[in-house]
Structure 1
């Protein structure tokens, strides 16, 4: 008989120091004052989990727009970001925005769903508050306050 023991998911916030987390949270709250301390902390965790999952994925992954904002905040701290990539991920993860062929990779929603699956498979906690578009229908250019909508606040 084989016994399989599941281990609890890891909170990716533990991948960086409390000091760096506080700096990134402060930077995000300066840009987005509506973010609570808890949301800023959890967003950092989702960004780090996304980076860790992406660093070892054979297929393209994509952060949600909000998780991408957290990534941008980290990228501004170039030395800390480089150190994190080298020491924690084992390689540098470049930020390469662009459009992937929808036929080959799926649209944004499919990429983000694959990212969430990769985060879970890598053993990290997923916080669906930071992946809200996965609960929405595929984009139809309805301008219903989506990320690229003219109505987006």
Structure 2
């Protein structure tokens, strides 16, 4: 298991799509095994009622992957942002997750101008498309329409 983690970490953030998928799958399985409370927290969120917590967590992991790879400010969708909030509240696990996978803590910065957040949201969707193909509209919205799917609470950055 340690050898596999080392291999995944070495291939982390590479241009190899297969390696990236394996990394994301490994991250998801670790959360599923060690942080089952996150699934319950997501199910208890009023905005996320009826949503599949597994899919939402996978989408949040993709968002964090984009921040880790591109080292830039990005804004998530509202649903992904709610999942990220719940993940951050698991402070020890979240800090270890960030340090292990991205060798730094990924900070969340609430606030910011709505126009800037929307521009960062569009940037997020473009990077998402580049890495993963089309984003699920029910989670990420359709950036061709002004439907306010971007998170109201702000952007994030890594330091």
**TM-score above 0.5, yes or no:** yes
Comparing both structures, which one devotes a greater share of its residues to strand? 2
Match in the other structure for 2:49:
34
Q: Trace 1:32-111 onto structure 2 (pairs within 5 A).
A: 32=46, 34-36=49-51, 39-100=52-113, 102=115, 106-108=116-118, 110-111=119-120
> Unaligned stretches of 5+ in structure 1?
1-5, 140-145, 149-153
CA apart distance, 1:82:
0.3
| Contact kept in structure 1, 2:77 and 2:151, CA below 8 Å | no
**TM-score for the superposition, normalised by structure 1:** 0.68
Change (3 A) 1:75 1:99: same
- What is the total number of aligned residue pairs between the two structures? 132
CA apart distance, 1:74:
0.2
**TM-score for the superposition, normalised by structure 2:** 0.66
> Unaligned stretches of 5+ in structure 2?
1-15, 153-159
CA apart distance, 1:72:
0.5
1:15 maps to 2:9: no
